[in-house]
């Protein structure tokens, strides 16, 4: 009697298709994670500046506030890469400009906060000169080369967040007590970063992907919290400066500036996260060039 292998072949084909579908799904999730991380790392300093300055969030969402500094930061990074590579800026690839994107964004963000213009060409030449002096023996990945686990890396990020926010609380604590104020700040950043990572990747994200994205979110959201806290602290100090102690006590009895910091942080963290998710999807079809500048 002849053996019929048709059912076996069908099962093999079905399994193969399921493996390919799963692989494609994982690959898409990984690319989305990387895209979100790139947006945050490239543009996080700009959002820090916006939050610190007090510009209304709706002007970022609906207006042109982000476009000009983002384009300037993108051009600065491209010019640095062009300078180092001895080529035309038009020939610089995204991967060649990538190492300079975050620093370029920080420079532009600082200038924007101070109301100063950036001489992009001169700054690019200075950055390129500094890059040429770098000792390449230090150019390594400690997480990879030293075998640091993803869990340990996440703990290091958490420690960094606490250290950054502790510096703010040491200066001014809104009469909440330094430990209590710091605890609220760290808890808010940690919980927001963790939840956002799951929300952004969904059920398709692996544990490693979620931990990795959580780190990126924690670092950038810490910067947002730092900006919101500093802005409110300056505002409160200015408001209470010179008042009798009794008036200060009365003001604090009817106001909760730390709650206002938290509310501002949530608005700005949602703004940054929303932009990152949209950018990871390629932005709207009508704005492809902006997506390229923001995401690079």
pLDDT tens readout for residues 81-108: 999 999 999 999 998 999 999 999 999 9
Question: Residue 222: enclosing H or E segment and its boundaries?
Answer: helix 207-240
Q: Please report whether residue 31 resides in a domain.
A: no
* Mean of the per-residue pLDDT values of the chain: 86
167 lies in the same domain as 278: yes
Q: Which range, of 112-126, 172-186, 249-263, 282-296, averages the lowest pLDDT?
A: 282-296
Neighbour tally for 87: CB within 10 Å: 13
167 lies in the same domain as 281: yes
Q: For residue 115, what pLDDT band results from cuts at 50, 70 and 90? A: very high
Distance between CA 7 and CA 119 in Å, rounded? 70
Q: Please report whether residue 295 resides in a domain.
A: no
| Secondary structure class of 64 (helix, strand, coil) | coil
pLDDT tens digits, one per residue of 48-70? 999 999 899 999 988 788 999 99
Neighbour tally for 100: CB within 10 Å: 23
For residue 282, give its domain range: 149-286
129 lies in the same domain as 153: no
Compute the C-alpha angle 280/283/289, nearest 5°: 110
What lies within 8 Å, CB to CB, of 65 at 6+ separation is: 50, 55, 59
Q: Which range, of 25-29, 121-125, 288-292, averages the lowest pLDDT?
A: 288-292
Distance between CA 210 and CA 195 in Å, rounded? 10
pLDDT at residue 205 in the model: 81
Q: Please report whether residue 25 resides in a domain.
A: no
Residue 38 Cα to chain centre, angstroms: 8
Q: Within 13 Å of residue 122, how many CA atoms lie on the same side as its CB?
A: 3
pLDDT tens digits, one per residue of 142-190? 555 555 666 677 777 788 888 989 999 999 999 999 999 999 999 999 9
Q: Please report whether residue 161 resides in a domain.
A: yes
pLDDT at residue 207 in the model: 85
Question: Does residue 286 carry a pLDDT above 50?
Answer: no
Predicted TM-score (pTM) of the model is 0.83
- The answer to whether 110 touches 48, Cβ cutoff 8 Å, is no
Count of domains for the chain: 2
Distance between CA 213 and CA 36 in Å, rounded? 8
Of 134, 158, 190, which one is at a domain's C-terminal end?
Answer: 134
pLDDT at residue 289 in the model: 40
């Amino acid at each position: 009697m002849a053996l019929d292998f048709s059912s076996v072949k069908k099962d093999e084909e079905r399994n193969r298709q399921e493996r390919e579908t799963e692989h494609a799904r994982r690959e898409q999730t990984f690319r989305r994670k990387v895209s979100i991380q790139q947006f945050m790392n490239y543009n996080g300093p700009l959002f820090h500046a916006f939050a610190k300055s007090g510009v209304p969030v709706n002007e970022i969402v609906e207006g042109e506030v982000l476009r000009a500094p983002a384009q300037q930061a993108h051009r600065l990074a491209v010019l640095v890469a062009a300078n180092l590579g001895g080529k035309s800026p038009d020939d610089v690839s995204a991967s060649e400009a990538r190492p300079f994107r975050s620093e370029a964004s920080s420079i532009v963000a600082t200038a924007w906060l101070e109301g100063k213009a950036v001489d992009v060409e001169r700054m690019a030449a200075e950055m390129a000169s500094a890059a040429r002096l770098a000792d390449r023996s230090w150019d390594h990945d400690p997480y990879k080369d030293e075998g640091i686990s993803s869990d340990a890396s996440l703990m290091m990020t958490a420690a960094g967040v606490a250290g950054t926010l502790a510096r703010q609380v040491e200066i001014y604590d809104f009469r909440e007590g330094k430990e209590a104020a710091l605890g609220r700040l760290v808890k808010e950043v940690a919980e927001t970063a963790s939840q956002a990572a799951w929300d952004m990747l969904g059920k398709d994200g692996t544990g490693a992907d979620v931990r990795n994205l959580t780190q990126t979110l924690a670092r950038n959201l810490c910067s947002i919290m730092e900006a919101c806290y500093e802005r409110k602290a300056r505002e409160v100090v200015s408001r209470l400066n010179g008042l009798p102690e009794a008036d200060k006590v009365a003001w604090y009895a009817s106001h909760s500036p730390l709650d206002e910091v938290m509310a501002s942080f949530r608005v700005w963290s949602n703004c940054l996260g929303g932009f990152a998710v949209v950018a990871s999807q390629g932005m709207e079809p009508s704005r492809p060039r902006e997506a390229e500048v923001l995401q690079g």
